[in-house]
Chains A and B, each alone.
Chain A
Amino acid sequence: MIPLPPTAPPGVACADALACDVACFPTSGAYLDLVRAWRDDGFEICVDLCGVDYLGHPGRVLPEGVVATRFEVVVNLLSVSSRRRVRVRVQAGDREPRVHSLFDLYPGTEAMEREAFDLFGILFDGHPDLTRILMPEDWEGHPLRKDYAVGRVPVQFKEAPGPR
C-alpha cells in the first residue's frame, strides 16, 4: 500500500487491492480533489473508468466508515513515470447516481463517462457532452443495470417511416 499524496483531502479511507498499489474510497465530495491530488502526484493516465451496479450483492468488502450505495464508479489511474497503479472507488448514490466529472483533469475520460452514463445512468456533473454513446439515442433504460433484463428485444426502428 502506498501512502496518499500530500495534497489529498483528509479522511479518505484506503485499503489493499489485488494487482494494484492502493484502493481509495473517497466520498463523492472528496472525489475530485483526491483524483486531482493523485494526478499532481504523477499519475498521468486515467486508464479506466467504469460503473458498477451492486444491486443484489450485499457482501462486498469496504473499509470502515464507507457507506455502501447501489452504484459505484471505479477509476483506475496509472503512473507511467513511477510504474504504479491506483484505484479510486467512489460511492455514487442509489436513486440518482451522480458524481463529478473528471473531464477537466483527464480529458480521456470523456468517452468512458459517457459509457457509464449510457449503460448505468450515472450522471457526471461538469461533463461537456453527456449523451448516450453505445446505445441508440432514443433507447429507453440503462441496460447494464442489474434490474434490466438480459433478454432479447424486438428490433427497434426509428420512428421516422422511410421509403421502403
Chain B
Amino acid sequence: MALEDLHHNFLTGRLEDMVRWARRASVWPATFGLACCAIEMMAAGAADYDLARYGMEVFRNSPRQADLMIVAGRVSQKMAPVLRQVYDQMMEPKWVISMGVCASSGGMFNNYAIVQGVDQVVPVDVYAPGCPPSPETLMHAIFTLHEKIRTGEVLQRRGGATPPAASSDGWTPVVPVAVRLGTPT
C-alpha cells in the first residue's frame, strides 16, 4: 500500500455517514415565525437556551439558504399558500418541524380560520407538542430530527413522494382545485 509516506492519522467511513453527519451538525432553520410559538423559538435561539450549541443558530431569512422550516404557530387559511410557497422555495434536502399544537392539529382553534394541521400543506417530520412548547421541547424535537437525519436516506427527495408530472405546457403540474365549502345556510 502507498500509505507508508502518510505522516498523520486518518479515519475511514462511508460517504453516506459523512453526508449525514455534516447535514445533522449544521441544520439551518428558516425564520418562519407565525404566532406565540415563534417567541419561544426566538427564546430558544437566545442566550439561555442557545441553539448555537447544535450548529443551528443561523436563522436564515431566505428560504433558499435554509434546510429546516420550523412552522412555529397557527397557520391560517390565508397563510397556507404562502407557507407552501416558502417551502417550495427551499432547497433539497429539507425538513419540517411542526411546533406547537396549533401547527400540528389546529389545537384549541377548531374553527373556520385555522388549517387543522400543517401536514395538510407540507410534509412534516417532527411534531413538537405543547402550547407553547417550551424551548426544551423544541430542542427535543430538534434532537429527534437529528436522529432522523442520522439514520435516514441520503438521496431521497423530500418535497413530495412522486415529483409532479409535467402538463401539456411543459411547466405546470396539474393539481386538483381545492374544494370549497360555502356558507352554511
Contacts and interface: CB of A to CB of B under 8 A. Distances in A.
Given A141-B182, A164-B164, A159 B177 contact: yes
A163 B173 contact: yes
Contacts of B85: 162
Contacts of B175: 157, 161-162, 164
Nearest to B180: A156
B112 interface: yes
10 contacts: A135-B77, A135-B113, A139-B77, A141-B182, A145-B183, A150-B110, A152-B112, A161-B175, A164-B164, A164-B175
B140 interface: no
B173 A141 contact: no
* Size bin of chain B's contact surface: 20 to 34
B178 interface: yes
Interface stretch (B16-24, B31-39, B114-122, B129-137): B114-122
B181 interface: yes
A164 B173 contact: yes
Interface residue SS majority, chain B: loop
Given A140-B183, A141-B182, A164-B164, A157 B81 contact: yes
A153 interface: yes
B33 to A, nearest CB: 19
Contacts of B58: none
Q: Which 10 A-B pairs have the closest CB atoms?
A: A141-B183, A157-B178, A136-B78, A149-B184, A156-B178, A153-B112, A161-B175, A152-B116, A140-B182, A143-B112
A118 to B, nearest CB: 11
A26 B170 CA distance: 62
A60 interface: no
B185 A147 contact: yes
Contacts of B80: 155-157
A155 B121 contact: yes
Contacts of A164: 84, 88, 160, 164, 173, 175
A154 B112 contact: no
Interface of B: 77-78, 80-81, 84-85, 88, 106, 110-113, 115-116, 120-121, 160, 164, 171-175, 177-185
Interface in A101-145: 134-136, 139-143, 145
A83 interface: no
Nearest to A132: B78
A151 interface: yes
A151 B173 contact: no
A153 B185 contact: no
A147 B112 contact: no
Contacts of B121: 155
Given A135-B78, A162-B88, A164-B88, A154 B173 contact: no
Given A142-B183, A156-B77, A151 B88 contact: no
A143 B68 CA distance: 34
B64 to A, nearest CB: 16
A148 B179 contact: no
Interface string A92-107: 0000000000000000
